[in-house]
Structure 1
Amino acid sequence: MLSRQLKTLAFCFLAVMAFTSPRLLAQDDGFDFNSLIIDAELYIWNRISDALDLFRGGLAGGPALGAELALTEYAQLGAYASYEKGVAFPHFIFPFWLVDYYEKKEPFLEFHEGQYATASFGPWRKESFDDYSSNIDRHFPRHKWDVRIQLHAFILSAYATFRPTEFVDFLAGFVGWDPSGDDQRLDYVATRYPADQFGRGLCNILFGAFEIPVNIIRVTASEGDLPGLSKGLGLGLWRFVCREVVGVVELVTFPFGWQPIIQPEYIFPLNQNMSWRTQRPSFHKQY
């Protein structure tokens, strides 16, 4: 089993070399090995991202009752009525939601709200309003070829779907074709530091707990024992949670080489006077 996985990874790397080398050589007279490595990392990331895109889900709250099952738009069965407010998310792995938001500056959640009722059988559907545009923001997303299930039980509604079109995109991605146009591309203007981000994320996960004693000691030294045990403990717990969450995000998205989300980057910085803050990640730009 392990041998098969190693062969698969080797095949992916060779495929990346074949597809990216001509572009890199055309981009610059010299051979940019760093860009090649980052392109390889993005290739692997894009395959993971395409796999995640196969499934999506959603939750909603509000009075609702009914259910619906759809095997594409041409084979549907169900009926439900709802007056809900809900959200559909791109897939089921939370940290990866941030990638599109930070890379493409696009919203990754789809919201809906309002009163809606529908009944469906086969390709036929009857909705509470004849005007399609008045319905579109009142229910979970529906696409022509989706395999979808929805359950509406009193005050909670749930939605899950499998997208065959994304399965085609997933398979095509292995040979460098992107039918959905959603692959991340190497930006030659941006200088990325994926190794820095990987190490930073790992350190945040492993040593984030040290924020608790560090902040207790720091606040005690500057403000006294009681603030140290109260304010220092509170700050330490908050910063510990922040470092753990950010560490996971940075670790799983390390190919993008973002700037630090938390300053200082590490718990024990050389500059002890640096103020602690969180910021939106962005690329190290090179103009």
Structure 2
Amino acid sequence: MQSYLDFEKPVAELEGKIAELKNLAQTDEAVSIGDEVSRLQQRADDALRDIYKKLTPWQKTQVARHPQRPHFSNYLSALVTEWTPLAGDRKYAEDPAIQAGFGRIDGVPVAILGQEKGNDTESRLKHNFGMARPEGYRKAVRIMEMADRFGLPVISFVDTAGAYPGIGAEERGQAEAIARSTEKCLEIGVPNLSIVIGEGGSGGAIAIAATNKVLMLEHSVYSVISPEAGASILFRDAGKAQDMAAAQKITAQDLLALKVIDGIIEEPIGGAHRNPEKVFADARAEIVKFLGEYDDDLGPLEIREQRREKFLAIGTALT
């Protein structure tokens, strides 16, 4: 069943009428609804297109958090074959918020990292809503070290509101774990690509997204802090999250203009959840393209230098 956001109310009403007509036709075969359904469907499609042409940063944040939006596990099933998951950080515990392992994408062996939010109450609790503890980032470091040792590219799927801020996580070195993971992203001698598929929240995101190439889905967001948290700190009012979202420049379009990211993967009208197969196909194409950009002639030093220059160049055009 389709779930609607507040600003999608006009579309919800039209699609509700379409569903009513179809139910009526099932109970009374004499009723002809074809023309009326086509007319209402066209109106719904036009309304959806108009709404998504002018989404505000806050509305894009809501789309990025949509409960039916494809998560890492969905991309894993659609894109990866011969998946071999690895668990644990070899220091403390397993953290299911970050999934990691090895597999093949379009036949090419790769290491894969992904933040999984879960798609129902049970799985969300299991994966801690995609908010990793230190063990998750230390597991990511372990996987990246293995990928570097065996010469495998690293593909990361980013979708988190941020790292878990609980007392236990802080006691076990959350900040240090995030810093080590970010450092490992920057120092490995194999190419790495990250795709923000939903929320890219703060250090929890950059810990696996300090990569040679950073892509974002069209309606995903990437920020140093959530709009609600930023509004609480700056304005002492979480209700001003809409203003904060606009000021932060957190959308894919803003970040591409600022050269913080390297490209945008278009989403179907209405968001990725309305046509996941298209999003998976486009993500696959971008990953295959990225893997093709790095050949055996490009050594570890060149790969590191390219990554280094990319991050050092961020913001220089604004000074």
What's the TM-score, normalizing by structure 1? 0.22
Relative to total residues, which structure has the larger helix share, 1 or 2? Answer: 2
Q: Which has the larger radius of gyration?
A: 1
Higher-RCO chain (CA-CA 8 Å, sequence separation at least 6): 1
